Amino acid sequence: MKRRILVVDDDDAARQAAALSLHTMAGWDVVEAYCAAQAIESATQHQPDAILLDVMMPAMDGPAMLAKLKASRATSHIPIVLLTAKVQAVHNGSLSHLPVAAILLKPFDPLRLASQVADALGWEADS
C-alpha cells in the first residue's frame, strides 16, 4: 500500500523540499498545503496516512491547527509529526504536551526525513 502524507508549511522552499524528499526517498504520495485552512480542507478531502506539520505559520499556527484536526471526527485519527525550527521549544518541553507522533527539527536532512517520519509512525521505510 502506498502511503499518502500531507506536508503543511507556509515556507514554499521548505514545503517543496520536504515533499520532494518524502516522494523521492520513500515513494509516498505527497499533498502540499501552505496554510492551516488549506491543510484542514486537504486533510478532510484526501485523508492522508499522516501529516507533517510546521509549528510556525501565520494566521493559525501548528498547535492551533493540530487542535482543530484532533477535534474533528473526519481528521482526529490522522497521526501528526511536527516540524519546527524552534529548537528551544523542543528542549524546554513546551511542545511535549501535544498529541503528536514526533517533533522533528528544521533544517531537516532531505536524505533522512522519510526514514525519520517512518520511524516516528512505526512504518516500514518502503511502505
Give the 3-state secondary structure of residue 14: helix
* β 29-33/4-8 pair status: parallel
Terminus-to-terminus CA distance in the chain, angstroms?
Answer: 6
pTM: 0.90
Which residue ranges of the chain lie beneath pLDDT 70? 1, 86-97, 125-127
pLDDT in the model for residue 96: 65
Give the 3-state secondary structure of residue 109: coil
Q: Is residue 51 within 8 Å of residue 69, measured between CB atoms?
A: yes
Residue 119: phi and psi, rounded to 5, are -60, -45
In single-letter form, the type of residue at position 76 comes to: S
Specify the CATH number of the domain 21-120: 3.40.50.2300
Provide the percentage of residues in the chain whose pLDDT is more than 90: 68
The grid coordinates listed for 42 are: 486537504
In whole angstroms, give the CA distance from residue 69 to residue 83.
Answer: 16
pLDDT tens digits, 83-114: 988 655 444 455 666 779 988 988 999 999 99
| Domain ranges (residues) in the chain | 21-120
